[in-house]
Every structure is written in structure tokens, then in C-alpha cells.
Structure 1
């Protein structure tokens, strides 16, 4: 109630709290938002507050991997009724499993092969009150390649990795990849407990599509006067975060998220057949759904959730990012492909020229079979 425009206006006029509560209980003629368009109705202001809590909101951003130019920015469903930009760097929400690639990237930087076998068992962090994360499926046992752990978003495997490489190194990498939000170096960040904006997450994920080079997102290229004279040009900052080999290893694992993992719906529901690097994300209590995806010349990310974090789906089957955010990404990409003038790539990502130092084809190790993969320190 206190966040509504009606409450703020009444408060600014000096109306007492008790009087405001009475006003909010009185039926009033009003125009309300709906996905089908505005509707005239009669309800109490208090009921209208509850009504608007039912709506899900998106934040969506797309950018060019090479030059950082922002191609799309959607802050919400309707600014007249929901005056909040869900893309803005100040609009932070819990990121869930979309944070996991940072953990796997640090592991790859330290020589872990995508085929390195990791036990699918609970990991205990003794220094943090014996915290031990659980798998969403509550299924355990066997060993799985690191690549499979990322593509299927297995919490225990991610927990194992952050215990090996340390949360501090993961935070440092995330910062270099464009995450400016303050992240505490706790093991729980491996599962995406931190609050980060859509702007930052798309910026960071874009690094994988740009051969390991972070490029600053930008929506202004130059300022001109009325005569067309250029007053100022803006050149995005860049940081070489990953060498091309490590980046390609990560790119291959992120492609597997689509080919064999949690983003498989892009294939069988949306018929997108080209190479796509992606990661899904779902937060605690299914309050936030995320999807990040990239093709060679476009990176885009989606967040979906309610304005109030306490509003959430009753189970993960309904509230997972693959259900809420992925379809938005897919629909956007299909509309891009329907317009040939946009020239959005369906080509494969460029391969590295030199021989890879680790095995990335884990077909001999899938689903706990085979011996341990290469661990190349």
C-alpha cells in the first residue's frame, strides 16, 4: 500500500494514516492495467494493490558481443502502471543458476577438463556452519562430468567446484566480467544467492560470445549538435578476461546446456536448431526465473518475476527459468530471424585454431560412466 502512487499523494497532502486506510477500503471507480489492455472497473484501492501483485514482470536486454551496442532494452510490461525499470543496474534480483558459469569458468582456468568426473554427493562446508546445499531433484549418487553438471545445473557438482577453487576467485572473475554489484565471497554464491541486475548479467555473459573479452554495454555512440557536428564519441571499455582457449571450453559447455541440458526446450519447443550458448536460472522458492543466451553476434538475457519477492510459484516445474524466461528469449530470437535485415547469425561459433589442452567431448563419460576425465593443472 505504501508503495502506491495513491498513498504517496495522500501522504503528501498531509492525510493521516488512519484516514488513508479508510480511503483504501472505499470502493472507487478506476482504470486498471491488464495484459489485454486497460479496463474500467470499481474496486477498493486496497484490492487494486493486491490485484497488481499477481502480475509477473520481465527485464530484457540484448547487445552486440563485439562493440557492446545495446540492441534492445525492455524494463517492464507497462511504465504507466509499473514505474520501474527491471534492467537498470540498480534493479537487482537474485540470479540463481545463471551465476554458475562463473564457478565453472574459474575451474576451467585452473585446468579442470569438462570431462573431469565429480561425485554427485552432498558437499559440506565446515567453515560455514556445515552448510550443505541440496540438488533440486534431491537425487544423488554416481559421478558426472563437469560439463554435465553445468548443462543440468546440478548443485552438488557446482558446490564441489567452488570448494576447490574458492569463492574469492569466483567473485574476482565475476567483477572482471562486468558484475559491479557487491558480492560476498561465500560458498552459497555458487548457487546464485547474490542480487545482480539484468544489465550486469547480460554484460558478463556476453564475454563468452566475444572470445573472452568483456565489452562495456553502451546505448550512446555519439552526441551531435543540430548541424550534425559530432560533439563527443563514446568508445566502450574492454577487458580481456579469458584466453581464447579457456573461453572456447566454456562456450562448448554452455552450448551443451541447450543440446542436452536445462535449455533443451529451445530445440524441442521452439525449433531453434543453430548453435546457442545459454544458461537457465531459478531462485529460491521460484521467485525469479532467468535465461541468458548468445549466438555469435547477439547476446540477450531475460529475468521474470513479481514485484514483491514473496510472490512465487508453488513448485519448480512451474517457476523455473526454462518455463518463465526462456520462452521470451526464444520468441525474441525467432522474430529477429524472421527479419533478414537484422542479419542475426545462425552460424556456429568460431573455433580456436590451436589444439585444446583438455578433452571436451565427454560422450564416454556421460551419466557417471567411464573413468575420470583429464585434470590438467
Structure 2
């Protein structure tokens, strides 16, 4: 006893005890301070019980297939039942082998961290973390403190971890963890990671795939399988070995799994990539407007990026895939022919005025100009070459280009718009707003308005039939000069306006062969105002020009509006408004709002008129300007349609009508100063129609779409068949030939 007293009286012992007491007191007071919120509030049991993490809004197609997300953090929650056992085993074996035994904190490991990492500054001591501690960090993050930051954060996480264990079962903790843990590429939660890296649900992950994703948790970037398959495989194999070590996996199977080559099926939900990016961008724009009118039960406004909304759309993902494939196949070949036709003197190379005008529209040019930089200096600045990612149909590439070079590259590229809808409802089935959303954000379906060319002619003929004109009325194909419109002389392709013929076409022949001269004559007879009123009844809201060239499609109309009007030909004469969202629900599946088809209230024209026009447009496909659908592409489906080409071959159009699907395609250059070199190349039958043809070939090859591809048009009435029963063309009679003048001029009646 005396020896003990003597020992404790030694100076170094006293100071050692004092130091230990100070350290213990420091930890006790620090822990107490953290516990009582001195360093910021710590979530209570009640708050932990009401956890709601930010969740991505999911966009689903008509068959509830995930096609996109809107998010700040890409997170998509699952239930415990959705987590495969081997995924859980991989996590426990790798991250926390005593997970089922501790109360949130593994004290032995934690003390090791405190003394080795904090006191001894040994960075190789390890983290000593548990799954529950990691969950606490995932949920609430870490703060930067001026001193003892690591210690404060660790203490705070330990308090939160113990409270989590009080509130939640082990299964619930695993579920929360897998729904919040960060994976590579800004992805949160196992479901989002499984979708992104393997294009499958977490439930369907194989053992090697599960081990791969669990392996990335050690270092998201270094073990990112997209960036380094080699690093990822090595880490995956470590995880598999851990599973063997702790009896979660048979060693023989482990060796088999290690031989797996690790094949990714990477599918990004980045708004610029993936399926239907233009459609998803348009849906997002609509959602931001729609959600302003609705509140959560607590009165807060819905947050598109955090509230885990479910957006049900009309899109058919499989059909969209086919449409995108058809577009790429056609535009690849068309672009090559387009560039070859222009040759070395292409406008994007030789037309300095056009290039200069396009350059002056660039944001960088405007910025330098506004800053007062001289013109010559601006030219020099825009001529500096640097590495640029550029789009080509042969694949993306990085090239050494200047801004001016890049401009000329993109000036030569053709762009497109393609839209398919259910004509009965207006539900959008496929949607292509351009050739590549990454490089071309401008949407040619919803934003663009281009001259529609001959696709306007059916509106002229609809007005004519509706106002009493008979299908068998004949018109001469000869050109006429309209003196009260600056001696305007509309002609047909390749026609000499001074050459006279003896040929007259009935309305079916005139429309199916897209005869310009007759379209203008029909417009003259029926009256411009009647044609404009007819187009309005069909759903065209755009103000139309009050001039005879309206018959030839000088009006600029969007694809969405044009297709809605065309739908009336297979929708009992009712136009529709294309729509894309059917309903929006919250994260729990409670409906926030739903949408019904927007069908115009009144029939645009009679059943008789509809049947006549449909027969005329069927003739366009069977024998007219769209006949290559039969001869070249061997489509035997029941199809009606109309081609369109605008002046100087600037725009090519095709509208394909089938009983259950209406599709519209447009092709042209974004720069109005550049058109196709020749009509043979630029006419709608060559530039736009093949996209529809390839698309329909794909639909025909998949029995999923039999209801569409094998559908039949309504049978025309006896009156319609009788009124169409006449010769398509006839020659002038003897006396008409005798007295026919060499050139005819007249005034356009208009109204």
C-alpha cells in the first residue's frame, strides 16, 4: 500500500494521470456538447423516423418503362424485398462483417480510429465505420469545423447511428443505406446505379454485378467501371473474396465469377443522352408549368427535382427506338449525298456573306462585339484552333477546330423532325426533335415553324370538296399568269410555263401527283377565305397568308399543329391536339393530376369529304408522288399520305397516314439560306419519305405493333366510290384545242 502511495506521488505519474483525466474530460465534454447540439443540431428519434430523402422524378413511357429522370442527385428508392440476398451479403462482407451484432457503432473499430488516426495521425489505420455510421454520413453529410473536425463528425455520426438503430430494424437500415449510398457518376441508390451501369433493376443484378457496384463504394471515381474496367474488376474480386471469407459465397463459384469479363450496359439518364431526349426536355418544360398549379398536402410547392414524382407519358419506348434508328439510317446516307451534290462550291464553304451572317449570330461574336473588340480582332479570335467535340454521322470525334471551322461544319448538317401520334386521341407515340440533342437543342417538333409546301394541298382540296366541288372536276395542268399578283406564274416541276398541253387532271390525279398549277386554280375557285376557315376547323391556329401561294404551302406551321390537323382524316373528321403526359403521381402513387385527350369539339368537315380525301391520299401512295413506299420499300400496309417540297428545295416533308398511326417527317437545313442542290435530292419523296418507310418496315417486323400495321381504313360509301369513278385525266376536245391560246393570263379571284 505504501509502495502504491509512493508510486502515485511521483511527478511523472501525477502528470500522466492529470493528462489522462484531461483527455477523458475533453472527450466527455466534447461528446456532451455534440449530444446537446453545441456543434449543430443532431437529428432526434422523431426526425429520423420521418426520413424523406430527395428523390428523382421518374418519366415512364405508356408501358411504364423508365425512359428518363429529372434530379439533382440521381436517386430511386427500393423496398427491402427488391434487394437480392447476394447484394446484401456483398455489402456486409465488405463493409461491416459484424453488422447484425452491433448497435450502430463497432466500439473496437471506433477506438482504433480515435487513437491511431486522430491521436497518432496514422492515416492507414482504416475508417472503423459501420454500415449504420455510413448511413448517418450519407443522410446528413459532414461539416467543416475549425478544430477537431474529424472527431466531432465521428461523434455526431455515432450518436445518429445509435438513434437510427433504435428507430429502425436491420432490414430497414440496409434498405435506407442502399437507397442513399453514393455510387459513381453522381448516382445515388442501388436502383439508379443498377439502371445506369447494367440497364437492369437491382433485383436482377448478378453476383458479379452486385460485387462490382459494392466495390465502387470504397472510391467512386477510382473504381468507376465506366472509367476503368481493370480497376473495377480488381475491386470486384476483392469483394468476392470477402464473401468467401465470411461464408457468404462458395469458393468454386467465386473463382467462376472472377473470370466474368465485366460487361457494362451503360445507360445514362442525362438529359442530353438516352432515349427521346427532345421528348423528355419538352415534358420537363410542361411539368414546370403544370406543377405551379398544385400543392402538396402540407401546402408546399412540388419540387420536380427532389419529390420523387412519377410522370406517366404517352410515348412508346420501343416505337421511339425504331423511329430513332430509322432517322439515323436515312440521315446518314442523305447527308453524304447532300454534301456530294454541293461539291467544292458548297455554300458553307464559298458563300462568305452567308458564313459572315451566321458568325455574327454566334454568342461569342456578340460578346466580343459588345466589349468593343475591333472586327479584325474578332475574326482572329474566332480563328484560333482548339480541341472540340463534334458531331458526325460516323461517330463523335475530337478535332482541332476554330469557332469558324466549327460553324462551317455545323452549317452543312441537315436536321430533322419526326412525330407519330395516335389519331384518335393525339397521344404522342414517338418524338424526334432533331438529329442529336447534345449538339442541337432546338426542337423541330415543338419550336420550329417551316414552310409546309405541298403538305398544305389536302387542306385546299378538303375545302373544295366540302364546298361542293366534285372529285371528277377537271383542270388543265397548264401554267397561268395571275396579273393582279405581280404576274405570278406558278409552275410544276420541270415545266416550261409557255408550253401548252392538252392534258386535264381530275382532283384525285392532281392531288396524288401534287400538281402546283391545279392546286392554285382550285384555291382560286373555292376562295382563299374558305380554305383558311377549313384549315382552322381542322386545328391550324397559325395565321395564314392571304395570297394564292398559300395553295403551295408558303405558310409556316409546326409539326405538332400540322399532324393534329391530318389526324382528322382517320378520326371521323375531328382534329386533335398532340399531348404527351397522361398523369402525374407523387412518390406514393397518389394522383396529382391527369390529362385527357384534346379532341376538337366540332367536326371539321363531312364524312363524305373525309372519305374522298382519304381515297385521294391513298392514291398518292399507290400511284403518285409517294409511290416509292410500294416500289422501293415494299410496304403493303394500308397507307395514305402526302409529300411536300418548298421553294428552292429548302424543306422536304412527308405525312404518312395509317388507320391507327399518323406520322410526319421533315428534313432541311437549320440555316434558311441553304437548301438542297437539286429537286431530285431535296423533294419530300426523297428527303423525308424514306424515314417514314424505314420506320414502318421496323414496325412491320415486330408483332407487338400488329394492331397498327395490320389495321384497315374505313370503307368509302357508295356515293364516294361513284363520284370517284371517272378517268384520272383527259385530253382537251377538238374545239378547245382549236381555240386554245398559246399563253393564258387571268386575275386571281381570291374572294
Cross-structure match for 1:155: 516
Secondary structure (helix, strand or coil) at the match of 2:723 reads coil
Task: Give the unaligned 5+ runs of structure 2.
Answer: 1-358, 734-751
In the alignment, does 2:724 pair up with 1:367? no
Cross-structure match for 1:167: 528
Q: 2:427 aligns with which of 66, 69, 81?
A: 69
Q: Answer yes or no: is the 8 Å Cα contact 1:114–1:253 preserved in 2.
A: no
- The alignment of Structure 1 onto Structure 2 pairs a total of residues equal to 367
Q: Distance in 2 between matches of 1:209 and 1:8?
A: 49
Secondary structure (helix, strand or coil) at the match of 1:143 reads strand
Cross-structure match for 2:317: none
Q: Distance in 2 between matches of 1:154 and 1:241?
A: 25
Q: 1:62 to 1:32 in 2, by over 3 A?
A: same
Cross-structure match for 2:505: 144
Q: Could you tell me how far 1:243 is from its partner in structure 2?
A: 1.6
Q: Answer yes or no: is the 8 Å Cα contact 1:211–1:248 preserved in 2.
A: no
In the alignment, does 2:649 pair up with 1:286? yes
Cross-structure match for 1:321: 684
Q: 1:330 aligns with which of 674, 693, 707?
A: 693
In the alignment, does 2:492 pair up with 1:128? no
Secondary structure (helix, strand or coil) at the match of 1:356 reads helix
Q: Answer yes or no: is the 8 Å Cα contact 2:651–2:668 preserved in 1.
A: yes
Secondary structure (helix, strand or coil) at the match of 2:581 reads coil
Cross-structure match for 1:195: 556
In the alignment, does 2:346 pair up with 1:346? no
Q: 1:251 aligns with which of 614, 620, 623?
A: 614
Q: Answer yes or no: is the 8 Å Cα contact 2:699–2:709 preserved in 1.
A: no
Q: Could you tell me how far 1:15 is from its partner in structure 2?
A: 7.1
Q: Distance in 2 between matches of 1:256 and 1:337?
A: 21
Q: Which has the higher helix share?
A: 2
Q: Answer yes or no: is the 8 Å Cα contact 2:453–2:553 preserved in 1.
A: yes
Q: Give the 5 Å matches for 1:1-377.
A: 1-4=359-362, 6-7=364-365, 14=371, 16=373, 18=375, 19-88=377-446, 90-138=447-495, 140-141=500-501, 142-239=503-600, 240-342=603-705, 343-353=707-717, 355-356=719-720, 359-362=723-726, 365-368=727-730
Q: Distance in 2 between matches of 1:354 and 1:332?
A: 34
Q: Answer yes or no: is the 8 Å Cα contact 2:611–2:720 preserved in 1.
A: no
Q: Could you tell me how far 1:7 is from its partner in structure 2?
A: 4.1
Q: Answer yes or no: is the 8 Å Cα contact 1:61–1:301 preserved in 2.
A: yes
Secondary structure (helix, strand or coil) at the match of 1:203 reads helix
Q: 1:104 to 1:25 in 2, by over 3 A?
A: same
Q: Could you tell me how far 1:10 is from its partner in structure 2?
A: 5.8
Q: Answer yes or no: is the 8 Å Cα contact 1:295–1:346 preserved in 2.
A: no
Secondary structure (helix, strand or coil) at the match of 1:300 reads strand
The TM-score with structure 2 as length reference comes to 0.47
Q: Deviations over 1:286-340 (max 9, x none)?
A: 0110000110000000000011011111221111010010000111112122222
Task: Give the unaligned 5+ runs of structure 1.
Answer: 372-377
The TM-score with structure 1 as length reference comes to 0.92
Secondary structure (helix, strand or coil) at the match of 2:462 reads helix
Q: Answer yes or no: is the 8 Å Cα contact 1:123–1:159 preserved in 2.
A: no
Q: Deviations over 1:128-184 (max 9, x none)?
A: 233221111306521111110000011111111001011111111112212222211
Q: Cα RMSD between the aligned structures?
A: 2.0
Secondary structure (helix, strand or coil) at the match of 2:457 reads helix
Cross-structure match for 1:375: none
Q: Distance in 2 between matches of 1:124 and 1:108?
A: 25
Q: Deviations over 1:241-262 (max 9, x none)?
A: 1221210110000000001100
Secondary structure (helix, strand or coil) at the match of 1:61 reads strand
Q: Could you tell me how far 1:36 is from its partner in structure 2?
A: 1.7
Asked which structure has the greater RCO (Cα within 8 Å, sep 6+), the reply is 1
Q: Which has the higher strand share?
A: 1
